[in-house]
Amino acid sequence: MLELITIHKSYEGQPLLRGISGTVAAGETVCLLGPSGSGKSTLLRIIAGLETYEQGQVCWDGMDLAPVPVHQRGFGLVFQDYALFPHLNVAENVAFGLKMQNLAGTETGLRVANILEMVNLTGFGDRRVTDLSGGEQQRVALARALAPNPRLLMFDEPLSALDRNLREQLINELRRILHQSGIPAIYVTHDQEEAFTLADRVLLLHDGSIVRSGTPEQVWSDPRSVWAAHFLDAGNVVSGIVMSNTRPFRVETPAGMFELDCGDVHSAGEKVNILVSRRGVRQAADGIVSGIVVDVIFRQDSFKVTLENGLDFYLPVAPRMGEKIYLTAPATGIKCLL
C-alpha cells in the first residue's frame, strides 16, 4: 500500500505542494484530478523518485522510500508523450524492464508476447516505434510499464495528446487492463470524464492541496467548495443567507428560497454559498425558483435552459424564449459550499 504523509514541495521559492497526504490501497485506482499547475504531475514524479521534496514521507507498506532510488522502487510510469526509446523497436521497448531484471531470453519473449496481446498489439513487435500512430505508441508505453509487473502503475496525463474518440476507446481498454492485472494505479489528469471513468477514488488537487477526495459520485454531487464546484462545473453556485436555525435550513437567495439539508451546522443570518444541481428540477406552478428564459439549447436527452438571473438547468421539455417559468429543486440537489 502506498502512503503519502504531508508532502511539501516548493519550486523557486513558490510552494507547489502544501502538505499532501493520502493512500493507494491494493488493487485500487486513484485519480489525481486538477487543473494544470496544480502540482499533480510533480506529486507523481515525487512518488516515482524523480523529484525531491522538502518535507513529508512517501511510504510503501510502512517503509519510507526516501533512500530507495528510482530504479529500485518498482513503480511503473507512463509518460505524457510516451517517452518510447526511438533506438529500440516495439518488442525491445516492452522488454526493456525485463532486461533490467536480467530475465532469461525465452521468458522475456513469452512475457512480451503476452503483454502485447493484452494491449491489442499482437504482431507489432518488430515495428519501429517512430512509425506508430499516437494511439499505438500509447499502447506500447502502457505495455512497457506493465511488463516488469510493477508494484504500482502511474499515468501522467497519458491521453492528453490524442483525439476524443481514441481517448474514449483507450480509457475503456485501460479500465479493463487495470481490473485484470489488479495493479494499484495513480492516474493524473485534468479531464474529469477520464477521472470518473477510471477512478475508484478521486483526489481533487487545487493549488498544491487536496481539496476533496472520495468516489467519483461523492466528489461530483458534493464538491464541498466553490472552487471545486466551478472546476467540475457541477451546477449553479448561488450565494445567500441562512434564515433558520434548524434543519432543513432555509436559504434565501436572489433566485429564490432553497431548502438545505446538509451535515454542517448553520445559524440564522449566516452567509453561505450553495450548489444547485442542474438536474432533478421540474417545472411547477408553485416552484420556488423563477426567472425569464433567455436561452434554450438542445442537448440530445434534454434542453439546457438559461434564465435571466444567470442560473441554468436541464429540463425535459423546452420552454418558450421570454417565458417566465417556475421550478422546484429537490433538497438532495442542494449542497452547501465552503
Partner 1 sequence: MSSWLRPVLPWLGVSIFLSLFFLYPLARILWLGLNTAALKILDHASLLLAFHSFLFTFYQAALSTLLTLVLGLPAAFLFVRYDFQGKSLLRVLTAIPFMLPTVVVAAGFNALLGPRGWVNLGLMDLFHLQSAPVSIIGTLGVILLAHVFYNTTIVIRLVGNALSHLDPCLEQAARTLGAAPPRVLTHVTLPLLRPSILAASILVFIFDFTSFGVILLLGGPGFSTLEVEIYKQAMQIFNLPLAGLLSLIQLLCTLAFSILYSRIVSRNAVTSAPRAAGTNLRKACTFRQKFFLGGMVLLLLGLFLLPLVSLPLRSLTRLEADRGQRGQVSYGITGDYYTELFINRSDSIFYVPPFEAIGNSLGYAAVTVILSLALGFPVASALARPRRLERLLDPILMLPLGASAVTLGLGFIVTFNRPPMALVTSPLLVPLAHTLIALPFVIRSLQPALASIPDRLRQAAASLGASPRRVWFAVDWPIVARATISAAVFAFTVSLGEFGATSLVVRPEYPTMPIAIARFLSQPGGMNYGQAMAMATVLMVVCGIGILLIERLRLPGAGEF
Interacting residues toward partner 1 by CB under 8 A: 48-50, 69-77, 79-81, 83-87, 96-97, 99-101, 130, 144-145, 148
Grid cell at residue 256? 429564490
Cell of residue 293, nine digits: 428564459
What's 318's DSSP letter? P
Q: Which is nearer to partner 1, 154 or 289 (CB)?
A: 154
65 or 228, CB closer to partner 1? Answer: 65
Smaller CB distance to partner 1: residue 95 or 325? 95
CB of 82 to partner 1, least distance (A): 8
User: 126 and 95 in contact (C-beta within 8 Å)?
Assistant: no
CB of 329 to partner 1, least distance (A): 48
Least separation, in Å, of the C-beta of 70 and partner 1?
A: 4
Q: For residues 76 and 90, give the distance between their C-alpha atoms in angstroms, rounded to a whole number.
A: 17
Contact by Cβ (8 Å): 144, 94: yes
Nearer to partner 1, 73 or 278 (CB): 73
Cβ partners under 8 Å of residue 193, min gap 6: none
Q: Which three cell numbers stand for residue 77?
A: 510510469
Whose Cβ is closer to partner 1: residue 143's or residue 229's? 143
Tell me the closest approach of the beta carbon of residue 204 to partner 1, in angstroms: 26
Edge-to-edge strand list for the sheet holding 209-214: 75-78, 152-156, 185-189, 29-33, 201-206, 209-214
* C-beta closer to partner 1: residue 48 or 274: 48
Strand duo 29-33 + 55-60: pairing: unpaired
Least Å distance, CB 84 to partner 1, is 8
Place of cell 444547485: 276
Question: Which residue type sits at 23?
Answer: T
Minimum CB separation of residue 72 from partner 1 in Å reads 8
| Nearest distance from C-beta of residue 99 to partner 1, angstroms | 8
Smallest separation (angstroms) from partner 1 to the CB of 75:
6
- 97/333 with CB nearer partner 1: 97
H helix count then E strand count, the chain: 8, 20
Angle subtended at Cα 157 by Cα 155 and Cα 158, rounded to the nearest 5 degrees = 70
- Of 11 and 85, the one with the shorter C-beta distance to partner 1 is 85
CA distance 314 to 40: 33
| The three cell numbers locating residue 21 | 497526504
Cell numbers that stand for 257 in this block: 428560497
Separation in Å, CA 101 to CA 86, 105, 106, 109, 149:
21, 11, 14, 14, 11
